[in-house]
Structure 1
Amino acid sequence: MTQLVDTAHAQLVALWLGFMGWILNAVTLGIIQWRVWHVAPGSDISSDVAWVGIWRACFHSHTLVTPEFRIMYCSSIGLAEDFTPPEIAAAQVLMVLALLAGLLGSAVCIYALRKVYFDLHKSWPIRSAFMCAGALSLLAAMLSCAPVLWNLHSVLTNQTIHFPREFHMPPAPLSQDVGPGIIVGLVATALMITSGAIFLTYRMPDGPELSRQSQRELRQTVRPRMESQTDKTAMSWMCKDNAAFQSHENL
């Protein structure tokens, strides 16, 4: 007979996959190397390679130094700046929303698994909780997938960004490569899609099996109460006053 605990093993694995996807999504948010620009030699960029992320653009330089990055010079990319391309502006907003949706989905899944493993007599909201967790995981995957694919398209089509002069970036790169940020973002999206799909496939046990299980739990709860009531009744019968003895005492 199928037990309620035996129905959520796949969802437990899905929670681990979704949590790994959430961690990789957070890593993607902070990686600088979304786009790898190869530039012409002779500029302030010593290594002839610059990195463009969704928050800042950086490159190694022996003449320009940002104190907190030592020999790396970095400039921040603002959301409301005129030069910020739409794919980077969208990534700044959607990646943060994906992080929040993934965290909320993991929390709902933990609630559902707690119902499965610890509160078997309150099993009615379990499927709804798993459905909600799956929907949030798929939402997080879509929110992160859109900016990642958009930036991937910009790299493959070698689109440029018109940085201000203080960025010391060339007007256009010689070529572009896909950076680790986009690759990690794609992996995170795949993990969250897989996790959400597994959450949505959860099925409760069949009705008769679940009812028999509930009846067994009910018997385990009611039987000690009936036995205690029976013992009290027996004790009250054994301790009943003897009327003949009381009449003899009154003589």
Structure 2
Amino acid sequence: MSRVTGGTWEQNIEGGPRLETMATVLMRTPSCLDQEAGAEELGRASERSCVHVGPAGQFPGCTATMLWFCNSANCQFSVFALATIGWILSSTSMGLVEWRIWYMKDTLLYPPGIACVGIFRVCVYRHRTNSTTTKFCYRYSYRDTFLPFEISMAQRFLLTASIFGFFGRAFNMFALRNMSMRIFEEDTYNSFVVSGILNIAAGVFNLIAVLQNNDAIINSQGIIFPPSLQMPFKPDVQEVGTAIQVAGIGVLPMLLTGMFSLFYKCPLYGQLHPGISEM
């Protein structure tokens, strides 16, 4: 009995650690329900961080630059606000007349004054006396043939950029609406892509208009205005106006936000966690 008892006692001593180890494993191993709950929680976290953009395997993963950008939908709202500011600045520059500033001295043919040459009109300021200044503005028409190439192209580029920027805001608003309603479909991704393309195109058109007119100022290119304006072919001094600076500032946010919207794509949840997707 003692041997049996001792044998039993010895088996308990040896089997005790085994039973304790198995109990520890069972306690640490999650049940199927816990695994499913964890998968659902990770799925919700994945949806919050990355947009579901299409069928499996379509987008293998985010680029390193856009990884931070995919973490929160608030980033896209910030991009929308920044792109809107750039679009407003670029559109406002069209109505400003201070693209080129001409300083004209007194000559036998032309009186002294300052002229602001814009994209759609020109305004001439002349000092009649020490206390009075007259202002005369002339709006360009499609019949005017004296406009230089850079101004004619800037008219088309800026109008096109304004239209592209407007539709870019519309597509961006549609995509943000889907994100706020947690509708992560391919239409949401396509709207971001179209918005990015339109923003980049608008920024490029504005940039071309700014560079062409800035180059004309640097090279002191002249304009043959109508005789009624009493302006020389070239001024004595020609400077860059504030309108070019406003348009140039508006170019940067439109290009940057267009790139962010264009590359806003993330891997699917199943690709991030293939083991959980198979459960």
Provide TM-score, normalisation by structure 2: 0.67
1:71 match: secondary structure: strand
Within the candidate set 269, 276, 279, 1:207 is matched to 269
After TM superposition, give the deviation of residue 117 of structure 1 in Å.
1.1
Corresponding letter in the other structure for 2:91: A
Answer yes or no: is the 8 Å Cα contact 1:4–1:116 preserved in 2: no
- The answer as to 2:114 corresponding to 1:71 is no
1-side partners of 2:255 and 2:263: how far apart?
Answer: 13
After TM superposition, give the deviation of residue 88 of structure 1 in Å.
0.6
- The answer as to 2:152 corresponding to 1:99 is no
After TM superposition, give the deviation of residue 5 of structure 1 in Å.
4.0
* Structure 1 residue aligned with 2:104: 39
**CA shift digits 1:35-60 (9 cap, x unpaired):** 01111135444xx3211001111122
1:73 match: secondary structure: strand
* Structure 1 residue aligned with 2:87: 22
After TM superposition, give the deviation of residue 93 of structure 1 in Å.
1.3
**CA shift digits 1:204-251 (9 cap, x unpaired):** 353328999xx9xxxxxxxxxxxxxxxxxxxxxxxxxxxxxxxxxxxx
Structure 1 86/155 Cα, relative in aligned 2: closer, same or farther at 3 Å? same
Answer yes or no: is the 8 Å Cα contact 2:46–2:269 preserved in 1: no
2-side partners of 1:144 and 1:176: how far apart?
Answer: 22
2-side partners of 1:201 and 1:104: how far apart?
Answer: 19
* Structure 2 residue aligned with 1:110: 173
After TM superposition, give the deviation of residue 127 of structure 1 in Å.
1.5
1-side partners of 2:122 and 2:234: how far apart?
Answer: 14
Provide TM-score, normalisation by structure 1: 0.74
Corresponding letter in the other structure for 1:128: N
> Once superposed, what is the RMSD of the aligned Cα atoms?
2.3
Alignment of 1:144-155 (within 5 A): 144-155=206-217
1-side partners of 2:253 and 2:156: how far apart?
Answer: 21
Give the structure with higher Rg (CA): 2
2-side partners of 1:137 and 1:113: how far apart?
Answer: 16
* Structure 1 residue aligned with 2:247: 185
1:176 match: secondary structure: strand
Answer yes or no: is the 8 Å Cα contact 2:99–2:118 preserved in 1: yes
After TM superposition, give the deviation of residue 14 of structure 1 in Å.
1.0
Corresponding letter in the other structure for 1:39: M
Structure 1 29/184 Cα, relative in aligned 2: closer, same or farther at 3 Å? same
1:125 match: secondary structure: helix
* Structure 2 residue aligned with 1:123: 185
* Structure 1 residue aligned with 2:146: 83
Answer yes or no: is the 8 Å Cα contact 1:5–1:116 preserved in 2: no
Structure 1 18/98 Cα, relative in aligned 2: closer, same or farther at 3 Å? same
* Structure 2 residue aligned with 1:54: 119
After TM superposition, give the deviation of residue 19 of structure 1 in Å.
0.3
Corresponding letter in the other structure for 1:38: Y
Structure 1 209/118 Cα, relative in aligned 2: closer, same or farther at 3 Å? farther
Answer yes or no: is the 8 Å Cα contact 1:79–1:89 preserved in 2: no
2-side partners of 1:79 and 1:85: how far apart?
Answer: 13
